Structure formats: C-alpha cells, structure tokens
Structure 1
C-alpha cells in the first residue's frame, strides 16, 4: 500500500474502500465539470442539469466525510505509525472535494448568462482539463511516478496560461464579450488544475511538500 500504510487483515478492506472512494470522487468531479462546461460552451440550459450537478457534488462531499471517518478508525487501530499516510489522505481528499466546488462556480457563470461558445480555445481547455481529472485518478491509483511528473509539468503550463489570460483581461487587452465571465472562468479552471496537481504531488513529493505545486511557479522555493 502506498504511503507506508500498515496492512492487517482487519484494515485491508477499509484501506481499499478509501482508494475506491477517491476514484469515485474524481469521477464525479469530472461529471460536474463536464456538465458545467456544457452550459458555458454548448448552450445547455443550466436548469436542466441543476439537479444532476447538485446530486453529483453531494456524492463528492459524502465521500470526503466517509474517508475521514475511515481514517479516524484506521488511526485508532494501528496507532501513530500511519500518521504520515493519514495526513496525505486528509490533504488530498480536500483537494478532490474542492474541484467539485469550482465546477459549481462554473455552473453559476452559465446561470448568470456567460456564454463561451464563440471562443474555440475554451473548448480545447474543456477537453484538456476534463481529461486531466481522469488522468489524475488513473495516475494516483497506479502511483505512477513518471506520468505524475509529466502531468505536473503540463499543469504548471496551464497555470501560467490561465494567469496570462486573466492579466490580459484585467489590463483591457482583450475587449471581446464576457470579459468578466472569462476572467472568472480562467480563475476557476486554474484552481481546478491546482487542486489536481496537489493530488499528483502525493505521488512524487514528500509529505512536507505536498502542496508544493499549488503555489505559482515563481513563488516556489
């Protein structure tokens, strides 16, 4: 088991359950993201997907709480030996939960009338970020160090891209429609990618640097 968890017959099922919930939460995050972006890009009426987004995000929230309960039980059974691993899981499960929240923020932009259908670059970003959620789930499950490193590099590139887009809008260098909405959407996508890189960092970084990639590249030590 990754992160040095102590395995025992009594705890195997619980640890496997935590891994399964993480996969389910990331899959649900992708559903929320895809539905929200369909409002912004495909003209889907937000009211028609409102309930599905809410129910799916609720599953993510429920998963976070279930994992926390399981970790408390695990800690009480095996003691302090697994404290680093428990801290890792506690950290990344919050990142995973926040992805769904930013998906709802994107939904709210669509509810407020923002339309991005005339911006081809946003369609490409939709596809890439959606796939990044799926890839993160796969990489984390496999503890694939090489793929995690590669995707972290791409994550950094996306963070810079989102920052540049926001700066252009703030400076008035892009006067196309929905400037405020596009700036907010870029910020939300940046946060989604940042939370994904935090999950990936659990595969490649020691616990004390778990959120290393959450900082902007120029701010990292």
Structure 2
C-alpha cells in the first residue's frame, strides 16, 4: 500500500513536470491521467479492505451464498483485467458495454446491501457480506471512472460516482 502511494506521487510529480515543460497543450491529457491514477489507487485501497476482512477471520466458506460471493469476486477481478485491454485498445463500443455491465453490477450490489440492512440475519453474518458488497461496488465504480476516460470529455470524468439519474 505504501509503495503504491509512493508510486502514485512519483507519477503525479512527473505529470506536473511534463505539463510545466510542455505548456498547456497537454493539460487535458494530464488531468485524465491524474484522475485515472487516483481511481486506480482507490481500487487498491478497497481490495486491501477486502483482504483486511479475511485477516479478521471473515470467511464465507460453507455458507449458502458462497457461490454468489465467489461469482462476484471472479467477475470483478476479470473486469479489472479487461479494463487494461479497454484502455489499450480504446474501443468505444467495448467501453460502453463495460460501463453498462458495471452499472448493472453496482445496482446488484446496492440491492444486496439493502436486503442485508433489512435482514433478520445476525450481524456477524450480515455485516461482512454488506461490507464486501460495498467494497466490490466501490471497486466497480472506480473501474468505471477509469474506463470513462475512453469516451468522456475531461469535465465529465468521475461521473460514475454519481447516481444514474444525475449523470445527464
């Protein structure tokens, strides 16, 4: 985590130097990259939160919902890898499909969280699941922010942190 933070600062510093030396013509690209770095770092933070839960002894093994949890884990992990491809290829159609599925996932995670809020399950079972769904939702939202750099102008970046009905 510390090394990631140091690397993030080094990249930001290099971008500021680049913008200073080359003038304002690259400013939009510099802003996009800085935004992407912030979101990628936050993805790492949420992944660390998930590992912290495991270190605290949280386990879904043997539960009725383990298959669902594993399926979400696998899908979110696969989508992170796919994000790298999308950024390399910069295919707008693939990006839009990625964003559409990401929005669906975010809504699914919200539904699970809301169900757990109103669940009669004991806290020791409901709270870890709610936290996991929240962390996976945030990982997904930050991945959508990164992907949005392919199709969105600079002033619209980070719009995936907003509710669907406020995006315009």
Tell me the TM-score normalised to structure 2 length: 0.91
2:25 matches 1:78 = no
Offset of 1:152 from its aligned partner? Answer: 0.3
Offset of 1:141 from its aligned partner? Answer: 1.8
Equivalenced residue count is 165
Quick check: 1:155–1:197 contact (8 Å CA) kept in 2?
Answer: yes
- Give the corresponding residue for 2:52: 108
2:141 matches 1:172 = no
Say which structure, 1 or 2, has more relative contact order (CA 8 Å, 6+ apart).
2
Offset of 1:219 from its aligned partner? Answer: 3.5
State how far apart, in whole Å, the 2-side matches of 1:145 and 1:58 are.
34
- Give the corresponding residue for 2:94: 147
Offset of 1:69 from its aligned partner? Answer: 1.6
State how far apart, in whole Å, the 2-side matches of 1:108 and 1:211 are.
26
State how far apart, in whole Å, the 1-side matches of 2:31 and 2:12 are.
10
Unaligned runs of 5+ residues in structure 2 are none
1:134 paired residue among 81, 96, 105: 81
Over the aligned positions, Cα root-mean-square deviation in angstroms equals 1.7
Offset of 1:101 from its aligned partner? Answer: 0.6
- Give the corresponding residue for 1:63: 7
Offset of 1:65 from its aligned partner? Answer: 1.7
- Give the corresponding residue for 1:17: none
Structure 1 ranges of 4+ moved more than 6 A: none
- Give the corresponding residue for 1:185: 132
State how far apart, in whole Å, the 2-side matches of 1:101 and 1:168 are.
25
Unaligned runs of 5+ residues in structure 1 are 1-56
State how far apart, in whole Å, the 2-side matches of 1:136 and 1:99 are.
12
Q: Deviations over 1:73-94 (max 9, x none)?
A: 1111110111111111111100
